[in-house]
Amino acid sequence: MSLVDLPLLPLGKGRDLTAERGVECLGDLPAASDPDLVARAIAAKEALGERVFVLGHHYQRDEVIQFADVTGDSFKLARDAAARPAAEFIVFCGVHFMAESADILTSDDQAVILPDLSAGCSMADMARLSQVEDAWDAMAAAGLQDNIVPVTYMNSSADIKAFCGRNGGVVCTSSNADVALEWAFDQKADVEGGGKVLFFPDQHLGRNTAVLKMGMTLDDCVVWNPLLPGGGLSVEQLQGAKMILWKGHCSVHGRFTTDVIDELRAKHEGIHILVHPECTHEVVLKADLVGSTEFIIKTIEAAEPGSTWAIGTELNLVQRLADAHPDKNIVFLDRNVCYCSTMNRIDLPHFVWAMESLVRGEVVNQIDVDDETEAHALVALQRMLDLPGKSHRD
Ligand code: SF4
């Protein structure tokens, strides 16, 4: 396997602008030690006025989130951007797939800017279009072409969303994954052999939803490993499965362990364990509550003063919740400090550089999804928007 074929480019080095992976950011950045960075960011934002709309994902650093006009999860932010057609520039403080979704949902007149192009997402990188197409072909060869519906998590590149749009599939968030799965199985209810879902890129969200919300068993789930011939599965395994889970995971949420949960329960009587469904199945089983970032925020807001919480999600958000709720005891569900390294790539120097470039009339780091991909991805996103009930949050 050549370096180019590696699913991840180490430390964001190299150039591959068509992939979700990190790439080098070639901007002429101000020094991180510049004491005027905050003042420069304020001045640039004032100079741009209503022409710019700054989005900040919950996992962003404080130094950046302070400049966000709105904060939220990826889908909320993309929808917020679409609701601001007067904003010429959408500066997305988040990662690449999020900026792509914002570009898909906003008008052609709006430019979506990612302050650092090296802010990719390792989970989204784990499902690349050529790999997914190979898997699809293998499943067709196993006689399953009429049975499978592809379902992709919001945390995937635009071409994967487009693949779902082209092939009768749907996008989901961590809040509506169960509704999306129900919809997918309904599409194939009358097909001989029943329906199956190919779920990517996060095996944990797929498994947790299938088993804990849909009543399936672990035996109903198989894992497709894109690095193995035939996904590492026999035809019989594919035919017997209801959920074919892509072997992908979040490097941040995959760190939380049951050992730490046991340790914290022993140390703090009455502690509540609150985790995101991107955590492993074992961790989710041991937790008290599981839900999206918005669910985590609302749960902490509504918690009793004096209550104790261990939260299993990205550390920037956990720290911000702890700061915002000093009357509650909030700890991180990991022994080590571990941020999402790609989210953290959007820092103040990149933000200032992107904003000052816009003030000079120079649009830098624009994320522009091609028309064909956008059209197909919109089909899958629209199917999600048409799902009954539930808010569409991740
Ligand atoms: S927290 Fe996980 S899913 Fe989110 S951007 Fe980072 S690696 Fe990707």
Q: Tell whether 131 and 244 lie within a shared domain.
A: yes
- Asked whether residue 44 falls in the same domain as residue 138, the answer is no
Q: Are residue 62 and residue 173 in the same domain, yes or no? A: no
Answer yes or no: do 295 and 348 share one domain: no
Tell me if 240 is assigned to some domain. yes
- For the stretch 267-311, pLDDT in tens is 999 999 999 999 999 999 999 999 999 999 999 999 999 999 999
Residue 204 alpha carbon to ligand 1 centre in Å: 13
Domain count, the chain: 3
Q: What is the average per-residue pLDDT within 216-236?
A: 96
**Quick one: 266 and 286 in the same domain?**
yes
State the distance from the centre of ligand 1 to the C-alpha of 374, rounded, in angstroms: 22
| Per-residue model confidence (pLDDT) at position 75 | 81
Say yes or no: 104 and 152 in one domain: no
Does residue 368 lie in a domain region? Answer: no
Q: How far is the CA of 289 from the centre of ligand 1 (A)?
A: 20
List pLDDT tens digits, range 316-327: 999 999 999 999
Residue owning tokens 């009357």: 327
Question: Following DSSP, what letter does each residue of 13-45 receive, concatenated?
Answer: -S--TTSSS-------PPPTT-TTHHHHHHHHH
* pLDDT for the residue 3: 37
Domain region containing 230: 125-251+376-385
Q: Which residue CA neighbors atom 3 of ligand 1 most closely?
A: 250
- Our mutation pick for probing the ligand 1 site, out of 122, 293, 341, counting the most ligand atoms within 8 A of Cβ, is 122
Query: How many Å lie between the centroid of ligand 1 and the Cα of residue 1?
Result: 25
Same-domain pairing of 247 and 275: no
The pLDDT of residue 27 is 67
Q: What is the pLDDT of residue 25?
A: 61
Same domain for 380 and 247 = yes
Nearest CA to ligand 1 atom 2: 250
The pLDDT value given to residue 9: 42
- Shared domain check, 138 and 71: no
Note whether residue 371 is domain-resident: no
Atom of ligand 1 nearest to the CA of 59: 1
Residue 205 and residue 162 share a domain: yes
CA of 155 relative to ligand 1 center, distance in Å: 8
CA 178 to ligand 1 centroid distance, Å: 21
Q: Answer yes or no: is 164 a known binding residue.
A: no
Does 340 show up as a binding residue in the annotation? yes
Contact residues of ligand 1, CB 6 A cut-off: 59, 95, 121-123, 155, 250-252, 314, 340, 342-343
23 lies in a domain? yes
**Nearest residue to 20 (alpha-carbon basis) of 89, 94, 78, 80:** 94
Residue 369 lies in a domain: no
Are residues 394 and 73 in contact, defined by beta-carbon separation less than 8 angstroms?
Answer: yes
Is 118 annotated among the ligand-binding residues?
A: no
- pLDDT, residue 5, reads 42
Give the atom of ligand 1 at the shortest distance from the alpha carbon of 94.
5
Report if residue 66 sits inside a domain: yes
Task: Quote the pTM value.
Answer: 0.90
pLDDT, tens digit, for every residue of 152-188? 999 999 999 999 999 999 999 998 999 999 999 999 9
Q: Confirm whether 276 is domain-assigned.
A: yes
Establish whether 59 is an annotated binding residue.
no
Q: Do 346 and 290 share a structural domain?
A: no
One domain, residues 154 and 296:
no
Q: In 114-255, which ranges are E strands?
A: 148-153, 170-172, 196-200, 221-224, 243-246
Residue 394 located in a structural domain: no
The CATH number of the domain where 291 resides is what? 3.40.50.10800
Contacts of 338 (CB under 8 A, 6+ apart): 252, 255, 315
